[in-house]
Structure 1
Amino acid sequence: MPVVAGVDSSTQSCKVELRELSTGRLVATGSAPHPPTEPPRSEQDPEAWWQALVRAFGIAREAAGAVRVEAIGIAGQCHGLVPLDADGGVIRPAKLWNDTTAAPELAELVAAVGAERFVETTGSLPTAAFTIAKVAWLRAHEPEHFAALRTILLPHDYLGYRLTGRFATDRSDASGTGYFDPAANVYRLEHLRRIDPDRDWASMLPEVLPPDGVAGSLAPEAAAALGIEPGAVVSAGGGDQHASALGLGICEGDLVFSFGTSGVVVTTASEPVRDPSGTVSGTGDLTGGFLPLVCTLNGAKVTDAFARLLAVDHDELSRLALAAGDDGPVLAAFLDGERTPDRPGASGLLADITTGVTREQLARAAVEGVVFGLVAGAEGIAGLGCRTDGTAFAIGGGARSEATTQLLADALGRPVATVDVAEPVARGAAVQAAAVRLGRPVAELGEAWRPPVHRLVEPRSGRATAARYARYREVAAVTELDRGR
Structure 2
Amino acid sequence: MAGPARRCCLGWDFSTQQVKVVAVGADLNVFYEDSVHFDRDLPQFGTQGGVHIHKDGLTVTSPVLMWVQALDIILEKMKASGFDFSQILALSGAGQQHGSVYWKAGASRALTSLSPDLPLHQQLEACFSISDSPVWMDSSTTAQCRQLEATMGGAQALSCLTGSRAYERFTGNQIAKIFQESPEAYSLTERISLVSSFAASLFLGSYSSIDYSDGSGMNLLQICDKVWSQACLSACAPDLEEKLGRPVPSSSVVGTISSYYVQRYGFHPGCQVVAFTGDNPASLAGMRLEEGDIAVSLGTSDTLFLWLREPTPSLEGHIFCNPVDPQHYMALLCFKNGSLMRERIRDESASCSWSEFSKALRATEMGNGGNLGFYFDVMEITPEIIGRHRFNAENREVSAFPRHVEIRALIEGQFMAKRIHAEGLGYRVMPKTKILATGGASHNRDILQVLADVFDAPVYVTDTANSACVGSAYRAFHGLAAGAAVPFADVVKLAPQPRLAVTPTPGAAQLCLCSRGNANSNSIYSLAQLNVALASTGKKPKPPQLYSFDSFIFGLKTPLLGASSRRASCYPLRYFTHGVRFSGRFQHTSQVDVQDQNLTCVISVWGNNGVISPGPPGSSDSSRLWTPAGTSSLGLIACEAFPEPSADSCPSCTRSGPCSIISY
Shift of 1:165: 2.8
Consecutive unaligned residues in structure 2, runs of 5 or more: 1-5, 39-47, 108-126, 391-397, 512-521, 531-550, 559-565, 568-664
Match of 1:434 among 468, 477, 493: 477
Contact 2:307-2:328 within 8 A present in 1 as well? yes
Q: Relative to structure 2, which stretch is displaced further, 32-41 or 246-255? A: 32-41
Distance 1:142 1:5 in 2: 37
Aligned-pair CA distance for 1:186:
1.3
Q: 2 CA distance for matches of 1:354 and 1:275?
A: 35
- The answer to whether the 8 Å contact 2:373/2:389 transfers is yes
**Aligned with 2:218: secondary structure?**
coil
Q: Does 1:292 align with 2:333?
A: no
How far is 1:293 from its partner?
0.3
* Aligned twin of 1:163: 203
TM-score after normalising by structure 2: 0.60
CA distance in 1, matches of 2:407, 2:15: 27
Give 3-state SS (helix, strand or coil) of 2:236's partner: coil
In the aligned structure 1, how far is the partner of 2:196 from the partner of 2:408?
36
CA deviations over 1:120-141 (Å, ceiling 9, x no partner): 4334433333212222333455
Q: Structure 1 stretch 402-411 or stretch 237-246: which is displaced more?
A: 402-411
Task: Provide, for residues 273-306 of structure 1, a one-character-per-residue CA deviation record: whole Å limited to 9, x for no partner.
Answer: 342555452534333222230321627xx42577
Counterpart in 2 of 1:11? 16
Q: How does 1:84-95 map to 2 (within 5 A)?
A: 84-86=103-105, 87=107, 88-89=127-128, 91-95=130-134
Partner of 1:33: 37
Question: 2: CA distance between counterparts of 1:242 and 1:278?
Answer: 18
Match of 1:377 in 2: 421
Which protein is richer in helix relative to its size?
1
Q: CA deviation at 1:48?
A: 3.2
- 370-379 or 5-14, larger mean C-alpha shift: 370-379
Cα distance in 2 between the residues matched to 1:364 and 1:55: 48
* Residue aligned with 1:49, SS: helix
Q: Indicate yes or no: 2:327 matched with 1:322.
A: no
Post-superposition Cα deviations, 1:117-169, rounded to whole Å, max 9, x if no partner, equal: 42443344333332122223334555554454443221111111222233222
- Report the secondary structure of 2:166's partner residue: coil
CA RMSD of aligned residues (A): 4.1
1:391 aligns with 2:433: yes
Contact kept? 1:170, 1:237, Cα under 8 Å: yes
Deviations 1:443-466 (A, max 9, x none): 535434244231232345799997
Hey, what's the Cα distance between the residues in 1 that align with 2:407 and 2:263? Answer: 49
Supply the distance in 2 between the matched residues of 1:62 and 1:376 (Cα, whole angstroms): 51
Correspondent of 1:174 among 203, 215, 222: 215
1:50-199 superposed matches below 5 A: 50-56=68-74, 65-66=83-84, 68-86=87-105, 87=107, 88-89=127-128, 91-115=130-154, 116-143=156-183, 145-167=185-207, 168-196=209-237, 199=238
Higher radius of gyration, 1 or 2 = 2
8 Å CA contact 2:13, 2:93 repeated in 1:
yes
Show CA shifts across 1:351-375 (max 9, x none): 45968876x8888777667645533
| Cα shift at 1:19 | 0.9
Instruction: State the AA in 1 paired with 2:66.
Output: A
Pair 1:405-2:405 in alignment: no
Q: Is the 8 A contact 2:92 2:276 kept in 1?
A: yes
Are the aligned partners of 2:312 and 2:424 in contact in 1 as well (CA < 8 Å)? no
- SS of residue in 2 equivalent to 1:107: helix
Distance 2:299 2:14 in 1: 14
Instruction: Answer yes or no: is 1:205 the counterpart of 2:259.
Output: no
Instruction: Give the superposition deviation at 1:173.
Output: 0.7
Q: Which amino acid aligns with 2:306?
A: T
Distance change >3 Å, CA 317–CA 236, structure 1 → 2: farther
Task: Indicate the percent of aligned positions where both proteins have the same amino acid.
Answer: 20
* Residue identity matched to 2:274: S
Q: Is the 8 A contact 2:298 2:339 kept in 1?
A: no
Distance 2:138 2:185 in 1: 18
User: What letter matches 1:421 in structure 2?
Assistant: T
Q: Is the 8 A contact 2:326 2:484 kept in 1?
A: no
Instruction: State whether residues 254 and 392 of structure 1, in contact with CA within 8 Å, keep that contact through their aligned partners in structure 2.
Output: yes
1:16 is displaced (CA, Å) by: 1.8
Q: Distance in 1 between matches of 2:505 and 2:313?
A: 33
Aligned to 2:497: 452
More off after superposition, 247-256 vs 397-406:
397-406
Q: Indicate how the Cα distance of structure 1 residues 368 and 33 shifts in structure 2: closer, same or farther if over 3 A, else same.
A: farther
Q: Are the structure 2 counterparts of residues 462 and 284 from structure 1 closer, same or farther at C-alpha, using a change threshold of 3 Å? A: closer
Match of 2:65 in 1: 47
Distance 1:480 1:32, change over 3 A: farther
Q: Work out which of the residue numbers 312, 320, 339 in structure 2 matches 1:303.
A: 339
Query: Structure 1 stretches of 5 or more lacking a match?
Result: none
How much does 1:244 deviate? Answer: 2.5
Judging changes above 3 Å, is the alpha-carbon distance between structure 1 residues 436 and 124 closer, same or farther for their aligned structure 2 residues? same
Contact 1:123 1:275 in 2 (8 A): yes
CA distance in 2, matches of 1:357, 1:140: 55
Shift, 1:93, TM fit: 2.6
Report the secondary structure of 1:477's partner residue: coil
Q: Secondary structure at the match of 2:247?
A: strand
SS at match of 1:258: strand
**Residue 283 in 1 paired to residue 321 in 2?**
yes
1:245-264 to structure 2, matched below 5 A, reads 245-259=284-298, 263-264=302-303
CA distance in 2, matches of 1:94, 1:139: 14
Aligned residues of 1:405 and 1:457 also touching (Cα < 8 A): yes
SS at the partner of 1:244?
helix
Deviation at 1:25, TM superposition (A): 2.5
For 1:336 and 1:52, the matched residues in 2 are separated by 35
Alignment deviations for residues 327-356 of structure 1 (CA, whole Å, 9 cap, x no partner): 899454473552x44x4xx5x423459688
* Preserved contact between residue 250 and residue 275 of structure 2 (Cα < 8 Å): yes
How far is 1:89 from its partner? 1.0
- Tell which deviates more after alignment, 289-298 or 360-369: 360-369
CA distance in 2, matches of 1:54, 1:295: 34
Contact 2:222–2:228 (Cα < 8 Å) also in 1: yes
Tell whether the 8 Å contact from 2:324 to 2:488 is kept in structure 1 after alignment. Answer: no
Distance 1:51 1:392, change over 3 A: farther
Contact 2:292-2:427 at 8 Å conserved across structures = no
- Alpha carbons of structure 1 residues 411 and 236: separation in structure 2 relative to 1, 3 Å: same
SS at match of 1:121: helix
Q: Which moved more, 1:281-290 or 1:182-191?
A: 281-290
